[in-house]
Amino acid sequence: MTSITILIPCYNEAKGIPALAAALNAELPKIEQDLDVELSLLFVDDGSKDETVNVLKATDFDAPTRLIVLSRNFGKEAALSAGLDAHWSDAVIMMDADLQHPIALIPDMIRKWREGYDVVYAFKSSRDQEGLATRLLSKAFYRLVNYGSRTELPKNAGDYRLLDRRVVAAIGKLPEAQRFMKGLYTWVGFRQIGIPMTVAERSTGRTSFSPIRLLGLAVDGLTSFSIAPIRIMSIAGLLIATLSFLYMAWIILQRLFFEAPFNGFASLAVLIAFFGGTTVLGLGVVGEYVAKALLEAKRRPIYVVADEIELSDG
Ligand code: UDP
Ligand code: MG
């Protein structure tokens, strides 16, 4: 029979796990019966500081369930990588622990997979509840990251998705330590399709992704998957240099032929501030890429496993 693993990364989710377990125990048997599949659960504890591990151990799961405990908090991308490396089935579905990803989509994912798609991702059908700034920034992000790229990152799609085992194997072979998962899913290719979803409210607790952390993630994504920022800096540099040259010619002409008096301070101050700003910005952009190269050069493992525990054999 086809077997599918549901991979759930957890960071400080102790309070939400009872609700999650109740939902999974209620929904999964129906899915198994309707679609003739065998489902199992794989939790990855990403160095939670609360009782997540103990609560998981104390909870009854009706499906076969395993838990991988990482030695500290490595971040969601690393936790997902740990789970993908450890899975043992025909396909993996990655899902958040906070019930924001509707379990009701799982049958659709499995059906699309059976139709021959290797990646079935859920995308937010609307971002209306989000603030204007978030929406504009995310638009700008997708514009930039997809600019001049051979592979297009699907808009508003996150980590809730099904991956065929071949896709998991391909992702496992990618050597980079800085794992921007959304980019990796796309980079490996294969047949991909999206299904719309409405993201639910968090069951309990708060998101661990603050606006600052999201911005950091966006910069990471951009610098790992696109050199558009460097291109834009080069083009802007060329433009500024050309304009400055014209301005210089204009000043010389003025001096030689029109005897115009110089009113220098304002223009000088503006020019110095402008060039100072653009220079530092350019250095920052280059610095991001150099830092990325440094982190890759260290060749450290993506995560460290502390424990692997069988929680239930179904
Ligand atoms: N998560 C994780 N490691 C982290 C942060 C989050 O494994 O460092 C998990 C978290 O437990 C949840 C999922 O990633 O299952 C999504 O996190 P969260 O709900 O905080 O983010 P959001 O839904 O706002 O994107
Ligand atoms: Mg969430």
What integer pLDDT is reported at residue 262 of this predicted model?
65
Q: What is the pTM of this model?
A: 0.84
Could you tell me which of 81, 84, 268, 103 has the C-alpha nearest to residue 164? 84
Q: Sort strands 37-45 and 2-10 into parallel, antiparallel or unpaired.
A: parallel
Q: Which two tokens stand for residue 274?
A: 């402008």
Ligand 2 centroid from CA 99, angstroms: 8
What integer pLDDT is reported at residue 192 of this predicted model?
95
pLDDT digits over 180-203, tens only? 898 899 999 999 999 999 888 887
Q: What is the DSSP letter of 151?
A: S
What integer pLDDT is reported at residue 261 of this predicted model?
66
Protein residue whose Cα sits closest to atom 2 of ligand 1: 76
Protein residue whose Cα sits closest to atom 22 of ligand 1: 207
Question: Measuring from each residue's beta carbon to the nearest atom of ligand 1, which residues come in under 6 Å?
Answer: 9-11, 13, 46, 73, 75-76, 79, 96-98, 100, 207-209
Ligand 1 centroid from CA 142, angstroms: 21
From the CA of 7, the nearest ligand is 1
What integer pLDDT is reported at residue 202 of this predicted model?
84
pLDDT digits over 49-83, tens only? 999 999 999 999 999 999 999 999 999 999 999 99
Could you tell me which of 151, 149, 147, 152 has the C-alpha nearest to residue 235? 147
Q: Count Cα atoms within 13 angstroms, Cβ side, for 176.
A: 18
| Ligand 1 atom, smallest distance to 73 CA | 8
What integer pLDDT is reported at residue 229 of this predicted model?
85
What integer pLDDT is reported at residue 314 of this predicted model?
75
Sign of CA dihedral 5, 11, 12, 13: negative
pLDDT digits over 112-163, tens only? 999 999 999 999 988 877 788 888 888 888 888 888 778 888 988 989 999 9
Q: Which residue has the higher pLDDT, 202 or 98?
A: 98
Q: Which two tokens stand for residue 293?
A: 């190269």
Percent of the chain with pLDDT over 70: 99
From CA 97, how far away is CA 57, in angstroms rounded?
A: 15
Q: Which residue has the higher pLDDT, 97 or 88?
A: 97
105 pLDDT above the threshold of 90:
yes
Protein residue whose Cα sits closest to atom 13 of ligand 1: 96
Best probe residue, ligand 1, of 12, 24, 52, 76 (max atoms within 8 Å of C-beta)? 76
| Ligand 1 atom, smallest distance to 207 CA | 20
